[in-house]
Amino acid sequence: MYKVLGTAATRTMRVLWMMEELGLKYEHLPYPPRSKEILEINPSGKVPALIVEDRVILDSVAIMQFLADKHGGLTYAAGTVERGQQDSFTQFINDELDAIIWCAARNSFILPKEKRVPEIKDTLKWEFERSLSFLGERIGDNEFLMGDKITVPDLLLGHMGGWAKVAGFEIPDGPFQAYFKRMAKRPAYLRASALRADK
């Protein structure tokens, strides 16, 4: 059985959501970031971590894609053009959205006070909205990023919607208002979200 390490109020939520979408059995160990248990397997202290056959996989996106590939769900096959397009969405979301919100979090409460630059958050909010508009142009009226099939980057982006709201980032009027609401109503998302009581 898989073991998912990390509190559900973190990026671990993405992995829990993936587990629920794929209908996999797993044990959730809600260790917080930088806890003793996490530091033993990840020197950075970040979560999530996945234990597979006594081996560790770190980083939420790597874990999600591993699970999708292993179980043949929420992904296109490696080596196909569709997979290249899917991975392009994943990389864009990581580079242009996730990184922005992570930078805002680091300058709000993660970095030591003397290292924070709170003024950067206005620029980050502007950049987030701009990147979201670029992404909107790419997907048009599609239900999901890749058309009518939900894939790994949809879970990544769907999680970003909630994370952005908590971080004080506004979602501009347009297709993403409905997209995030749709993703947050998925039964698998709701089951994974219920685990946030562990925080």
CA–CA gap between residue 68 and residue 114 (Å, rounded): 41
Q: Domain ranges for the chain, please list them.
A: 2-74+189-198, 81-186
CB 1 within 8 A of CB 26: yes
Q: Pairing state of beta strands 49-52 and 2-5?
A: antiparallel
Mean per-residue pLDDT for 151-163? 96
Mean per-residue pLDDT for 155-175? 90
Q: Which CATH superfamily is domain 2-74+189-198 in?
A: Glutaredoxin (3.40.30.10)
pLDDT recorded at residue 197: 67
Please say if the pLDDT value at position 199 is more than 60: no
Instruction: Write down the pTM of the prediction.
Output: 0.95
CA–CA gap between residue 10 and residue 62 (Å, rounded): 15
Provide the token pair at 177: 């208002």
Mean per-residue pLDDT for 85-104? 97
Domain 81-186 has CATH 1.10.357.10: no
CA–CA gap between residue 33 and residue 9 (Å, rounded): 11
CB 121 within 8 A of CB 129: no
Angle, CA of 185, 139 and 87, to the nearest 5°: 90
Beta bridge partners of 21: none
CA–CA gap between residue 66 and residue 57 (Å, rounded): 9
Q: How many helices (H) and strands (E) does the chain have?
A: 9, 4
Minimal CA–CA distance to 16: which of 155, 138, 135?
155
CA–CA gap between residue 123 and residue 23 (Å, rounded): 40
pLDDT recorded at residue 174: 79
pLDDT recorded at residue 196: 82
Least confident of 17-21, 78-82, 140-144: 140-144
